[in-house]
Chain A
Amino acid sequence: MYDYSTASETALDQKTIKFSARDVQVYYGDNHAIKDVNVDLEDKTVTAFIGPSGCGKSTFLRCLNRMNDTIDICRIEGDIKLDGEDIYDKAIDPVQLRAKVGMVFQKPNPFPKSIYDNVAYGPRIHGLAKSKTDLDEIVEQSLRRAALWDEVKDRLAAPGTGMSGGQQQRLCIARAVATAPEVLLMDEPCSALDPIATAQVEELIDELRKKFSLVIVTHSMQQAARVSQKTAFFHLGNLVEFGETGQIFTNPTDERTESYITGRIG
């Protein structure tokens, strides 16, 4: 059933492991991009990936929903399990996986369709709506969750590409939410947005945490500190440190983390 309101708030307290990665290696041709990454990502939690450019955080994020499959020269070793199931197993259909693990990209990428059709895209493909009213319901719910409903409810037939950058990104989030994923991956979702739109998206992320597990890649340390509960610091393809956000930012154990956070490397 597609109904967010029935999910109980108590889930916040029970931290089950959603993703678990063991000894993950990623190669782009000869380039060893990710080295020995071991990490457990919790459900109903925002996990932030931080680190300098080229450190592998986006690459690792894209491993979690097998978006790297579309790149020919990319090779992945090790285990990544979603709810205990190996997502790189032959029996897993990457298309099914991506329906469960949604993604929001760095640059807003609304389809050249109407706002309504953008949000209805996923539900239509996966047959989530039994009827037109059902679909209307899903679209409205998703747009409300993305804090966009009030702005667009009168012009659902207008093209999604005609909105402002911040609205477009929230539309993309609504689109991802409409597919009813379990995990939402966000690859620098605010890097193309102004501070006001960024604040709106961050608020949204905090709201979405009640229903989903979220992973967000960001270059902004303040953003990581504001929105996440767990933080992972990547450096040169290694996962250097992973822990509670508060602890990473106030009392990092690794000196590379400290250098990065205080702005000495990056």
Chain B
Amino acid sequence: MPLHWLVLIVLALSAVGFFMGRGRALQTAGGDRRLLHSLPHYYGANVALSAMVPAFGVMLVWLLAQPLIVNTSIERMIPTEALPEGNTLSLVMSDVRRVAQGLDIAVERGVLSDAEVASLRADETDIRAMLGDVGVALGADVPGPVLEAAKNHRQQTARGAMIMSIAVLVLALIGFAYAFWRTNAQFRARNIVEAGVRALLIMAASLAVLTTLGIILSLIFNTIEFFRLHPAKDFFFGSVWAPSFGGGSELAVLPLLWGTLYISLIALIVAVPVGLFSAIYLSEYAGSKMRAYIKPLIEILAGIPTIVYGLFALLTVGPLLLGLFGSQGLGWMQAGTAVMTAGLVMGIMLIPFVSSLSDDIINAVPQSLRDGSYGLGATKSETIRQVVLPAALPGIVGAILLAASRAIGETMIVVMGAGAAARLSMNPFEAMTTVTAKIVSQLTGDADFASPEALVAFALGMTLFVITLCLNAFALYIVRKYREQYE
């Protein structure tokens, strides 16, 4: 039975359960809903949930587990001597899966019947040509063991799907019947539904945490693999970044880290004063009408995709700077792509970040503090400088650190604005590159995935992850530590 039918049937069963459960509850109370423990729809929801949740749960686990189990059992069937020269088991297994998928399609289109599939023999039929006709292209002719494995794979998958359908339907019916049988006026359906809501929320929350864990795990294993192939000392303390895909690369993180920090620094030098001053203007000086227009306009900046900022850097800011500092002007700059270009544009990108966070923080400073200062004869700017900003400082520092971790993680603007040369230099008008930009270029290159040149991307990612994690943790620490100072 196709999966979507199974889902629909269970859903339909739940819907029927909802109305039947509600009806039965009302009936046991003799039609007087005041005699019920819970509102009627809670009884309905209880029956619907009982039918749906265990069934879908089993379905989900089954769908995740079945391919693993089938694969293991098929792998054991393939004799090691059947492996072609230079091929690994995983490559053969992907062939098997592809052939099995092709056979499925062939049966579906009516080219073959199930009985014909069972009697197919690799030395009698040109499987490759036949599957090519139904749109499944294979890289090579199908050897006998692979065809047998594919047939077996098909069989096991089909059998598994059938057992799953039956199990799911039976579970749905049992859940339905049990909940329906339990429904009476005294039954506490409301509490059950409440527990269900709670479980749903817990699941949503843990999903986010688990994803983070998964990301860390996927980075860690590849990072360890990289450090097995490349000495950690060279990675952390070397000073040259020169990957060569033939091997013997020098892969040091320092030039990339320097580029990252230099560009971020310039970005922050642009974004912090401008963002902070605009936040002060918006929260302290602007009238409510002005604020209503300007605040959304600034926040539009935050909605622009970074690739568009990259274009802006490449087409506008770079040539502009080149005109000023290039050979026509001061002669400090060779090309439009430079640390300065990327830093300036990234700074513009961060302005709404700093300004809107600081604005909220400044607004949270109690009006009584401002009144106290005005009442002593302080002017507006004295009040802001000496009372409002010190009170808001921890929050503002937090905002700046958050902006910094965004700057460090930014990629597109760097790729388009700062060039691709990894170098350790103090000149802000030279091209440099960052950790993120190099992660992209290392992974999208032609390098073998198992080579240090590709795996270095994971070590770089891990380094970046740790740095931004520390920054975020530090920001949170600062914000928490000083948050309640003025209450």
Residues of A within 8 A of B (CB): 65, 67, 70, 72, 95-100, 102-105, 107, 109-113, 121-122, 125-126, 159, 161, 172, 175-176, 179
Residues of B within 8 A of A72 (CB): 287-288
Name, among B288, B368, B373, B375, the residue most crowded by chain A CB atoms within 10 Å (CB to CB): B375
Interface SS of chain B: helix, strand, loop or mixed?
helix
Q: How far is the CB of B388 from chain A (nearest CB, A)?
A: 10
Please count the residue pairs between chain A and chain B whose beta carbons lie under 8 angstroms apart in the complex: 75
A-B contact pairs, 9 of them (CB 8 A): A67-B374, A95-B378, A103-B371, A105-B372, A109-B369, A111-B372, A125-B386, A175-B372, A176-B376
- In the complex, A193 Cα to B288 Cα: how many Å? 35
B residues in contact with A176, CB < 8 Å: 375-376
Q: B366 within 8 Å of A by Cβ?
A: yes
B110 within 8 A of A: no
Closest to B287 in A: A72
B377 touching A125, Cβ below 8 Å: yes
Contact A70 B377 (CB under 8 A): no
**Further pairs besides A111-B391, A175-B376: 12, Cβ < 8 Å:** A65-B375, A95-B377, A99-B376, A100-B377, A103-B371, A111-B390, A112-B485, A112-B486, A121-B378, A125-B378, A125-B382, A172-B372
Instruction: Count chain B residues whose beta carbon lies closer than 8 angstroms to a beta carbon of A.
Output: 22
Q: Is the beta-carbon distance between B369 and A179 smaller than 8 angstroms?
A: no
Contacts of A121 in B (CB 8 A): 373, 376, 378, 386
B420 within 8 A of A: no
Bound complex: CA of A122 vs CA of B369, how far in Å? 14
A125 with B376, Cβ < 8 A, contacts A111-B391, A159-B485, A161-B486 known: yes
Give complex CA distance A160, B182 in Å.
63
Nearest CB of chain B from residue A258's CB, rounded to whole Å? 34
Contacts of A159 in B (CB 8 A): 485
Name the residue on A nearest B378 (C-beta): A125
Interface residues of B (CB under 8 A from A): 287-288, 366, 368-379, 382, 386-387, 390-391, 485-486
Chain A residue at smallest Cβ distance from B368: A109
Distance in angstroms from B375 CB to nearest chain A CB is 4
Complex Cα spacing A176 to B374, Å: 11
Chain B proximity of A163: nearest CB distance (Å): 13
Query: What are the residues of chain A within 8 A of B377 when measuring CB–CB?
Result: 95-100, 102, 122, 125-126, 179
Interface pair B375/A67, CB less than 8 Å apart: yes
Residues in B with CB closer than 8 Å to A175 are: 372, 376
CA distance A112 to B378 in the complex (A): 16
Q: How far is the CB of A175 from chain B (nearest CB, A)?
A: 7
List the 10 shortest-distance A-B pairs measured between CB atoms, nearest first. A99-B377, A103-B375, A109-B368, A98-B377, A109-B372, A122-B376, A112-B486, A112-B391, A112-B485, A95-B379
Give Cα A176–Cα B378 distance, bound, in whole angstroms.
12
Q: What is the minimal beta-carbon distance from B387 to any residue of chain A, in angstroms?
A: 5
B390 cross-chain contacts in A, Cβ below 8 A: 111-113
